[in-house]
Amino acid sequence: MEVSFGGASAEAAYAHVRSLLVPAILNHSVRVWLLADHLARREGIDAPERESLAVACQFHDVGTAHQHDGPQRFEVEGADAASAFLSRHRWPAPLIKGVWEAIALHTSPGIAERMGRLPRLVRVGVRADFGATELIGTDDEDRLASALALFPRLNIESVLGEAVVAQALRCPGKAPSSSWPGGLLAAHLANPEHSGVNPAF
């Protein structure tokens, strides 16, 4: 079974993030897209927005990569990286803005869901991959399960939490106290032996 990301830019995005992300986070990013795309197709998403969704999902954690470990929160670093990538591919500014917002807001409960379909779908895809399976429904469940199985979890809960905490320890400004990275950092500082925090969303 092959996975198609729905467009030349989305396929190029996958090749790009595959060169940057550790396997657990890469697989998680693809699973988030599979879950979000599953919902999007039920909603009748059109081709340009579907490709935007694919790029946003693939880049949503690219801020954890060494190459994008800048001074900003990892969500914003990832959003900026996606914007630069799409600019090189000559995407129109409104589509780039939508992808940026979806990535930057994916750890912001109650906000992402109200900022339009793209931010909502990325956030729902992330939540679904971390256990909120009631969000997905049961139609075409076997096909979705088969696609997800191609990208094993590889202990993503610990790997992602550790990556975000490691960046925050080097640069505390990346983890404001009211943010999701800030919560992970606080949990680590309270109990350093448990740095692989389950990234509850």
Taking the domain 8-153, which CATH number applies? 1.10.3210.10
pLDDT over 60 at 170, yes or no: yes
pLDDT tens-place string over residues 59-110: 999 999 999 999 999 999 999 999 999 999 999 999 999 999 999 999 999 9
pLDDT over 80 at 154, yes or no: yes
The pLDDT value given to residue 26: 97
Which positions ≥6 away from 35 have C-beta within 8 Å?
124, 125, 128, 129, 136, 144, 148
The pLDDT value given to residue 117: 94
The pLDDT value given to residue 3: 73
pLDDT over 90 at 16, yes or no: yes
pLDDT tens-place string over residues 64-76: 999 999 999 999 9
The pLDDT value given to residue 133: 64
In the chain, domain spans: 8-153
Handedness of CA 8, 78, 170, 180 (dihedral sign): negative
